[in-house]
Amino acid sequence: MARKTVIAGNWKMNKTAAEGKALVEALKGLVADVCPARAEIIVCPPFTTLGAVAEAIAGSNIKLGAQNVHWEKSGAFTGEISADMLKEAGVEYVIIGHSERRQYFGETDATVNQRLKAALNAGLKPIVCIGETLEERESGNTEKVLAAQLSGGLAGLDAEVVAGLILAYEPVWAIGTGKTATPEMAEETHRFIRSFVAGEFGQAAADAITIQYGGSMKPENAAALCAQADIDGGLIGGAALKADSFAALVKNAIAAGQA
């Protein structure tokens, strides 16, 4: 079944409002010929850069995402942000459960599940991150870890909702390290994720769900990764911080994904 290629740039704690605006102003021209019916292009700036980027991408084929969302609507949660606040800023997508949130900020599968439900209730489109550490892979526990992250993270969701989700499979050992999973290794894991979704939520949800790969994806390796049957695009860190590298990656990914 043909799924759209979805490429999201996770800017992490990079780019002031002025820098972010300059990046997307350059990116807009470079990806103007990408047809939104074939591919989604998303940028996920830090919170204080969202407004400037929203303004700069208005009317273009670039969509706005955020990097986190809290499950409560408002209240005493210092440093957090609500789904309604993101919506007001023009945000359409939100990354949930990135490995850096899990590693440095105590994110768990249970909090991923709470954030995910709040995002869905507000009409945001979540990008749910899962992935194993090097130690977990080397000890043969990759599938067990991913199964637990999926069971906990997606708990209580209906199959129709799962069908519309974006998952990002990001082996933690490949994030920001320059070490990419080989296309075959990534495909094997993506196939496992899709079959796990089929087992829990049915084949229709598994066929429809978008599964991105993330971890040192670059313009040079995007085609080989996105040519794999179960890889539907990428969540990109480092290579999303420059307009030319992100645009080249987007184009290579789309061409390979739809070849």
Q: Are 159 and 205 in contact (CB under 8 A)?
A: yes
Q: Are 131 and 98 in contact (CB under 8 A)?
A: no
**Interaction between residue 10 and ligand PEP (CB under 6 A):** yes
| Residue among 97, 171, 233, 238 that touches ligand PEP (CB under 6 A) | 238
CA distances from 168 to 12, 150, 215, 233 (A): 15, 11, 10, 9
Q: Which ranges in the chain belong to alpha helices (H)? A: 17-30, 50-57, 83-88, 99-105, 109-122, 134-138, 142-153, 159-163, 183-201, 203-208, 219-226, 243-257
C-beta closer to ligand PEP: residue 31 or 205: 31
C-beta closer to ligand PEP: residue 11 or 201: 11
**Interaction between residue 220 and ligand PEP (CB under 6 A):** no
| Residue among 187, 237, 254, 256 that touches ligand PEP (CB under 6 A) | 237
# chain residues binding ligand PEP, by CB under 6 A: 13
Q: 154-173: which residues touch ligand PEP (CB under 6 A)?
A: 170
**Interaction between residue 216 and ligand PEP (CB under 6 A):** yes
CB of 238 to ligand PEP, least distance (A): 4
Residue positions annotated with a catalytic role: 98, 170
